[in-house]
Amino acid sequence: MKAEVPVQKALPSSLTPQRLVELYRTMLLIRHFEEQCAPAYRQGKMGGYMHVYIGQEAVATGFIAHMRDDDYMVCSYRDHGHALARGSDPRRVMAELFGRYTGVAKGKGGSMHLVDVERGFLGGYGIVGGMVPLAVGVGYGIRYRGGDQVCLCFFGDGAMNIGPVHEALNMAAIYKVPVVFICENNRYAMATPIDFASAVPNLAERARQYGMPTRQIEGMDLLEVYRHAEEIIHHVRTTPEPFFVEVLTYRFEGHGIADNPTNQALYRTKEEVEYWRQRDPIVSAARFLLENGLATESELLEWDAEAKQQALEAVAYADASPEPPLEELYRDVYTDMEVPEWRY
Amino acid sequence: MAVLTYREALRQALTEEMERDPNVFLLGEEIGRYQGTFRVTEGLLQRFGEMRVVDTPISESGIAGMAIGAAMIGLRPVAEFMTFSFALIAADQLVNHAAKILYMFGGQMAVPVVFRGPAGGGAQLSAQHSHSLESWYAHIPGLKVVTPATPADAKGLLKTAIRDDNPVIFMEHAKLYSTRGEVPEGDYTIPFGQAEIKRPGRDVTLIAYSQPVLLALHAAERLAETEGIECEVVDLRSLQPLDMETVLRSVRKTHRAVVVHEDHRNVGFGAEVVARIQEFAFDDLDAPVLRVASADVPIPYARNLERAAFPSEEDIIRAVKRVLA
């Protein structure tokens, strides 16, 4: 797989320097937010599974940048970055990870089930590929109402080996739903390499058979993602038809919190991780800003400090927030009926 | 009141709800051009067009997921499974998605979707096409489970299901589609969680749902004629929510009960009913509560074996005599 060192590029015409800086700062926020997760987890502030997005920030940032307020998105359980890129309050996202009542799902979903209905973020889902059929339904609903929104559907390379994803891709093409299927290929489904797990390791190639346009793009460079995402989303919104895009990316950390460096040594080398860390999307975006005179060294430091501060504030907010009251246990099972308490 | 078949009553409910609410649409295999495998959706494609009567490929997970996704943004899909045996393919969408979305996202996103189709067997469909498995769905918090036995109930409960903001598993029965009964016209709805006494009686309570309600009624007639035993037949109509009050009231009167269902006996829904009866009416019972259900075997093809696997009127009669012994 090739991942060339990004060369200097001209700014896409739709991207103002100011907007680029905003997106850069979004990536910084995601990075710092995620970096606060492991220590908080180790302190017992969080539980369950916890999957961080470090290394993949350019993907969610570059695609979500093109969403309108009334667009929709769904994603997998590696969802912190998507929520933050969509503009969800980092404090409430962190509070959800802490299992607190102020969290985006009142503390009832946790890391894997972030949501922000007001922003059209219809949730992070914990079953690999499970959200892909849902996205077809969202897209069908858009068509049904005659709208021109789109639905972005983010999932990993592992999802390409689960049956319902293929049912969904076929149905998306049959009904011409305005859904962008964004396969974030970070090379490993947990510890299983995609070139082992997929007989055709080029996932865009695999998806091409479903009768929708497909593309494989480089995912470690914000401008590259932004440029492709703009074209793809515009195509889906105006045609309309679904689009499958495989984004080549890499997670710098383990699959989840339990996938520590010792475990990672079972499936990838330090040299490989280092190779990809050299392609850090935040570093390359910073270089672009500097080389093109769009930011100074001191501004970069200032933005970095601000993002870190935001992440720390999110932790402090989460830590100070109350746990959900026990009545929440029985709430929200149904919209309209009580579940009996069987307790003596 | 018009006399309709169960099938026609379902179709009337679908038609009326689609006319009432433009957000209601149907999807499933063979429901449009082919008019529905069991003809429930006959004529609806012609009437409502292909945007609202959506033929799908044989992709149960895709169908279920698509219905859930559309419901998440406020549509009211009614997805048909050609049979509930095929719903097993979509189990992840039903259990991990439809049932969980409201709760795990903190009550922000409702999933007003209906999954309907025939459950059960009895026509030599053999091992892979004869499932009921309603207890699996009733076991899952977040799903409602409805099992109408008569044309009137089919209409009234389906209209309620479509208007419900929660995922509803609506289990019909292939052997009921051609049965006839009076069906109220117009806006007739039946609330969930209201069992109905289909036949009053003083001696034994027969608790049933779906097609076995008819079996219980026939058995009750025979027992009344031949033995002078008066059975009270309680049709649960919905399993989640479950109307135990009506069941307990009847048991407190008769002091004896038999639960009848077509699903397997082992860990079937009858076990839950029996558990609740003994918990809340132990002192009112004069005999152990019995269960009449399918044998705990894969359903066989051969006519005689299949007949022996499913609950019969004779099984019910024997159970009634035993609780009276």
Question: Which of B129, B131, B261, B264 is the catalytic position?
Answer: B129
Least confident of A5-9, B67-71, B133-137, B240-244: A5-9
List all residues 6 or more positions away from A272 whose beta carbon is below 8 Å from its beta carbon. none
**Residue A248 and residue A281 in contact, taking contact as beta carbons nearer than 8 Å:** no
- Which residues does chain B have within 8 Å of residue A181's beta carbon, measured at their own beta carbons? none
- Which residues does chain A have within 8 Å of residue B92's beta carbon, measured at their own beta carbons? 127, 130, 164
Residue A3 pLDDT: 45
Higher pLDDT pick, A344 / B298: B298
Looking up tokens 């918990």 gives B279
The reply to whether B97 belongs to the active site is no
- CATH number of B2-183: 3.40.50.620, 3.40.1160.10, 3.40.50.970, 3.30.70.360? 3.40.50.970
Whether A294 has a pLDDT exceeding 60, the answer reads yes
Does the beta carbon of A171 lie under 8 angstroms from any beta carbon of chain B? yes
Binned at pLDDT 50, 70 and 90, residue A6 comes out as very low
CA gap B101, B63 in Å, rounded: 17
The interface predicted TM-score (ipTM) is 0.97
Amino acid letter, A24: Y
- Which residues does chain A have within 8 Å of residue B93's beta carbon, measured at their own beta carbons? 130, 133, 164
**Residue A160 and residue A183 in contact, taking contact as beta carbons nearer than 8 Å:** yes
Chain A interface, best mutation among B94, B103, B145, by max A CB count within 10 A: B103
Peptide bond before residue B112 is cis, with ω within 30 degrees of 0: no
Whether A5 has a pLDDT exceeding 60, the answer reads no
- Which residues does chain B have within 8 Å of residue A174's beta carbon, measured at their own beta carbons? 57
Domains of chain B by residue range: 2-183, 196-324
CA gap A210, A216 in Å, rounded: 15
Q: What angle do CA A242, A151, B25 make, to 5 degrees?
A: 85
CB contact under 8 Å between B73 and A331, yes or no, is no
Angle between helices A131-144 and B60-72 (to 10 degrees): 60
Token pair, residue A130, equals: 């499970």
Does the beta carbon of A105 lie under 8 angstroms from any beta carbon of chain B? yes
- The predicted model gives B276-289 an average pLDDT of 98
- Residue length of chain B: 325
CB contact under 8 Å between B241 and A108, yes or no, is no
For chain A, give the mean pLDDT: 95
Binned at pLDDT 50, 70 and 90, residue A338 comes out as confident
CA gap A128, B137 in Å, rounded: 22
CB contact under 8 Å between A104 and B106, yes or no, is yes
Binned at pLDDT 50, 70 and 90, residue A342 comes out as confident
CB contact under 8 Å between A171 and B109, yes or no, is no
Q: What is the CATH number of domain A17-330?
A: 3.40.50.970
Residue B122 pLDDT: 87
CB contact under 8 Å between A137 and B144, yes or no, is no
Nearest residue of chain A to residue B98 (CA atoms): A134
- The predicted model gives A107-121 an average pLDDT of 98
Binned at pLDDT 50, 70 and 90, residue A344 comes out as confident
3-state secondary structure (DSSP) of residue B299? coil
What are the pLDDT digits (tens) for A163-188? 999 999 999 999 999 999 999 999 99
Nearest residue of chain B to residue A143 (CA atoms): B51
Burial-class residue A309 by CB neighbours within 10 Å (0-12, 13-18, 19+): exposed
The reply to whether B262 belongs to the active site is no
Fold of the CATH domain B196-324: Rossmann fold (3.40.50)
CB contact under 8 Å between A137 and B106, yes or no, is no
CA gap A335, B241 in Å, rounded: 13
What are the pLDDT digits (tens) for B184-200? 999 999 999 999 999 99
